[in-house]
Amino acid sequence: MYSIHDEEKVKEFLQEKSYPKFRYSQIENAIYKNFINNFDEIKTIPKDLREDLKKNFFFDSLKVESQVTSSNWQTTKILFKTSTWEFIESVIMRHLTWRVTLCVSCQAGCPMACSFCATWKLGLKKNLSFYEIVEQIYYAARLVDSEGSRLRNIVYMWMGEPMLNYDNVKKSIDFAASQKKFDLSNRRITVSTCWIVPWIKKFTKDFSQVSLAVSLHAPNDEIRKKIMPVDHTYPLKDLMNALDEYVDKTNKRIFYEYIMINWVNDNIKLAYELWELLKWRLAHVNFIPYNPWEWTASDWFKPTPRFIIEKFQDILKKFSIPSTIRATMWDDINAACWQLANKKVEKEEKKI
């Protein structure tokens, strides 16, 4: 069987069965505009076609294991189980401006071994197929639609490194941006990467309008190598050259993620190094308070005090580099990266 989200397979099937071409448009409209996720409910197509679809295609390869919403209703975290028994997560964020953002996973686990992140302890279980990524988007879009709102933004920055699953991520982005599917502007899609340099260059060619966020976390190679092993392969100089090419082609500002860890990367002198690195560049720095509840390799990591983060921000502001301090919207549901999946995996392992 094939996923109903595999447009090419559905069209091939319709042609083989001698159904008229317009049937696909009817199916497409029912699923992505009316959010029908049951073949029997697609009344715009004949019954024999509905029966044929049920025998050859499926809606869901992901099973919802749990769904938790924060007390202020702003954040919903969904834990999915794949058909091959891996666990992945998505998070819906409802901003006070009525903008709704979805963070999706692109891998089960992650191979990057960043010491401040919980996900890497699982290692890489598998790359998600394009339809497993699309199913996360569809589930969120349907849920948000039932609330009388609309999914406006997608960020590829939950579980996994998007550039290491490039083809499936690319296909899911094209899918999400299709006017007849989710109809999201490319400008409302952001891909966050640990800076796999060759793939950033390919990304620049393929997606000149999609936003790019980069996990920076330190302004020099010495610190970055300690907390992000990928720096040994792609040092800062190579990264910045690739990002300069992206900006030259797209004229788009890059978002630099900087997690603030006390006594690791929050010495005030590093704020000046950060300014030296980003001056004359189209940049926006997103300071992320370290979450002490994350299950990481470095249990001694502590969050940077707020006043030090604000000092970093003030220094950048003096040199006209915009920045924000990421708001924590999900403390009461343990929505730091991959926490629910960790708990679920621990429970499953105890059964074995």
Query: pLDDT, tens digit, for every residue of 8-30?
Result: 999 999 999 999 999 999 999 99
Q: Of residues 103, 106, 117, 337, which has the active-site annotation?
A: 337
Torsion angles phi and psi, residue 45, rounded to 5:
-115, 155
Long-range interactions of 33-42: CB distance < 8 A, separation 24+: 35/141, 35/142, 35/145, 35/146, 37/138, 37/142
- Asked if 194 contacts 231 with a C-beta cutoff of 8 angstroms, the reply is no
Report how far residue 120's alpha carbon sits from residue 160's, in angstroms, rounded to the nearest whole number.
8
Alpha helix segments (H runs only) across 292-335: 306-318
Which of 97, 91, 90, 94 is closest to 73 using CA atoms?
Answer: 94
- The H helix count followed by the E strand count for the chain is 11, 14
Question: Catalytic annotation on 89?
Answer: yes
Which of 128, 59, 130 is closest to 88 using CA atoms?
Answer: 128
How many whole angstroms from its chain centre is CA 318?
32
pLDDT at 258: 97
Helix, strand or coil, per DSSP, at residue 103: strand
Q: Could you say which residues of the chain have pLDDT below 50?
A: 294, 297, 338, 349, 352
pLDDT at 334: 57
Helix, strand or coil, per DSSP, at residue 177: helix
Query: Roughly what angle, to the nearest 10 degrees, separates helices 306-318 and 268-278?
Result: 40
Burial 254-278 (b: 16+ CB within 10 A, else e): bbbbbbbbeebbbeeebbeebbebb
Report how far residue 6's alpha carbon sits from residue 134's, in angstroms, rounded to the nearest whole number.
10
Q: Of residues 16, 65, 89, 161, which has the active-site annotation?
A: 89
Long-range interactions of 305-311: CB distance < 8 A, separation 24+: 305/262, 308/260, 308/262, 308/266, 308/268, 309/260, 309/266, 311/268, 311/271
pLDDT at 351: 54
How many whole angstroms from its chain centre is CA 124?
16
pLDDT at 104: 97
Secondary element (H or E) of residue 172 = helix 166-177
Q: Which residues, 6 or more positions from 303, have their beta carbon under 8 angstroms from its beta carbon?
A: 260, 261, 262, 289, 290, 291, 292
Report how far residue 88's alpha carbon sits from residue 158's, in angstroms, rounded to the nearest whole number.
9
pLDDT at 215: 94
